[in-house]
């Protein structure tokens, strides 16, 4: 799966968790760009992404992300 396909799937997860069907996520998107993306929502997003892609992040990984693009790279780098 390439980064574009992962981004599309992540976008659907964001839309579901944030209850915002029109939200557009790009590699440059950060929590500051999305009003509803608060600390509790962040937990729900991470849990939903881990479940969807059947992967596990570490706490070190998630604090290292500077934007959605880095999260996508992290997902893509996980062993399949």
Partner 1 sequence: MNLNEFVSEFNEKMTHHFDVTQTVYNAFQLCSGDMNPLHTDESFAKQKGFRERVMYGNILNGFVSYFIGECLPTKSVIIHSQDIVFKNPVYLNDNVLLEAVIDGVYESVNAIEFKFKFFNQNNKVIAKGHIQIGLL
Q: Which stretch binds partner 1 (CB under 8 A): 4-12, 24-32, 55-63?
A: 55-63
The reply on whether position 56 binds partner 1 by CB under 8 A is yes
In the bound complex, what is the minimum distance in angstroms from residue 50's beta carbon to partner 1? Answer: 6
What mask of x and - would describe binding to partner 1 in positions 11 to 50, judged by CB under 8 A? -----------------------------x-xxx-xx--x
Whether the CB-CB separation of 71 and 10 falls below 8 Å is answered with yes
The reply on whether position 51 binds partner 1 by CB under 8 A is yes
- Burial of residue 31 (CB within 10 Å: 0-12, 13-18, 19+) is middle
- Give the Cα separation of 74 and 65 in Å (integer): 9
| Number of chain residues interacting with partner 1 (CB under 8 A) | 14
User: Taking every pair of C-alpha atoms in the chain, what is the biggest distance, in angstroms?
Assistant: 33
């Amino acid at each position: 799966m390439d980064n574009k396909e992962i981004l599309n799937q992540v976008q659907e997860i964001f839309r579901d968790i944030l209850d915002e069907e029109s939200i557009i996520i790009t590699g440059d998107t950060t929590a500051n760009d999305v009003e509803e993306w608060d600390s509790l929502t962040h937990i729900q997003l991470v849990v939903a992404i881990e479940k969807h892609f059947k992967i596990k992040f570490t706490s070190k990984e998630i604090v290292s992300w500077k934007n959605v693009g880095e999260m996508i790279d992290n997902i893509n780098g996980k062993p399949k």
